[in-house]
């Protein structure tokens, strides 16, 4: 692994990228989807969602455009870029390895 992962920050980014990868969504919808998917396991406050979105946009992984939402208000919709897709693939692979490694360790039977 090239560098240690910032677990919490990295995880939130990964989740957002994954959610946006499925379809372009606005901030509110992303926050709903986060809760919906992860149930109560992950507590993501809306306060940290928006800075994270801005950071991902800044990195060029997602891109935003303003367009009408379902209730006909203008909202900022985020979608994944080509760069973002690559990053997502890389990060998911990293995540798989990391979680596999950790679960292996956790499942070690005590002698």
* E strands present in 20-92: 25-26, 62-68, 74-80
Q: How far is the CB of 27 from other proteins (least distance, A)?
A: 5
Q: How far is the CB of 108 from other proteins (least distance, A)?
A: 40
Give the nearer residue to other proteins in terms of CB position, either 44 or 98.
Answer: 44
Decide if 50 contacts 27 (C-beta within 8 A).
yes
- Residues forming contacts to other proteins in the complex (CB under 8 A) are 26-28, 31, 45-47, 50-51, 54-55, 57-60, 63, 66, 69, 71, 73-76, 81-83
Decide if 34 contacts 15 (C-beta within 8 A).
yes
């Amino acid at each position: 692994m090239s560098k240690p992962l910032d677990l919490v920050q990295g995880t939130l980014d990964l989740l957002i990228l994954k959610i946006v990868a499925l379809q372009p969504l606005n901030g509110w919808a992303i926050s709903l989807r986060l809760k919906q998917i992860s149930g109560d396991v992950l507590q993501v406050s809306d306060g940290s969602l928006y800075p994270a979105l801005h950071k991902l946009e800044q990195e060029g992984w997602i891109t935003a455009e303003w367009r009408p939402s379902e209730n006909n208000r203008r909202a900022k919709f985020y979608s994944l870029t080509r760069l973002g897709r690559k990053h997502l693939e890389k990060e998911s692979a990293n995540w798989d390895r990391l979680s596999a490694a950790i679960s292996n360790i956790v499942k070690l039977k005590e002698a």
